[in-house]
């Protein structure tokens, strides 16, 4: 397994775990506004918001800086993965926009909690899509050349 492929796999697994944890927390609280009421939950959310991009940046930079770890073939795969990531982010934002517009049309306003949820979900989807794109890229290249 290529070093980049390994990192993509780790990122993908971490992203999935994070998503499951968030869903479990949401379901356990039973209400989306629980994030606002519970200070501990808010703290966890802020830690995720700051921590995930930071860890992601560090991991990506560490990988891309080492020439023996990432070569031209890896860079081709990264380029394709970025396209998948971009599409996933756009699609996530479209889904949020349509869903919130339709649900809160009558009220004329959207609860502030959704700001964090939109950001967190986009961040997670972005990381997952990038990692998934890299894994599919390797799979495709190994299969078709």
Partner 1 sequence: MRFDHDEMTQEELASRAGCTRQTIIALEQNKYVPSIELAFRVAKAFGVPLEEVFQYEDSQGR
- We find the least distance from the C-beta atom of residue 7 to partner 1, in angstroms, to be 13
CB 118 within 8 A of CB 96: yes
| 3-class state of residue 104 by DSSP | coil
- We find the least distance from the C-beta atom of residue 145 to partner 1, in angstroms, to be 4
DSSP state for residue 51 in the 8-state scheme? H
Cα 68 to chain center, whole Å?
27
Task: Return the number of the residue (15 or 133) whose C-beta is nearest partner 1.
Answer: 133
- We find the least distance from the C-beta atom of residue 59 to partner 1, in angstroms, to be 17
Q: How far apart are CA 18 and CA 32, in angstroms?
A: 17
Task: Return the number of the residue (61 or 68) whose C-beta is nearest partner 1.
Answer: 68
Q: How far apart are CA 121 and CA 125, in angstroms?
A: 6
CB 17 within 8 A of CB 51: no
Could you list the residues that contact partner 1 (CB under 8 A)?
1-3, 5, 67-74, 141-142, 144-145
- We find the least distance from the C-beta atom of residue 6 to partner 1, in angstroms, to be 11
């Amino acid at each position: 397994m290529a070093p980049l492929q390994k990192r993509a796999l780790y990122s993908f697994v971490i992203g999935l775990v994070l998503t499951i944890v968030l869903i479990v927390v949401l379901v356990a609280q039973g209400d989306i506004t629980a994030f606002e009421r519970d200070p501990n939950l808010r703290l966890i959310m802020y830690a995720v918001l700051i921590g995930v991009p930071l860890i992601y940046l560090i991991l990506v930079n560490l990988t891309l800086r080492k020439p023996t770890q990432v070569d031209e073939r890896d860079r081709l795969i990264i380029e394709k993965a970025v396209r998948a990531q971009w599409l996933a982010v756009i699609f996530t934002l479209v889904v949020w926009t349509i869903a919130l517009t339709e649900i809160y049309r009558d009220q004329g306003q959207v609860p502030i909690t959704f700001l964090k949820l939109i950001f967190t979900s986009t961040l997670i989807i972005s990381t997952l899509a990038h990692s998934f794109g890299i894994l599919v890229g390797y799979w495709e290249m190994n299969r078709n050349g």
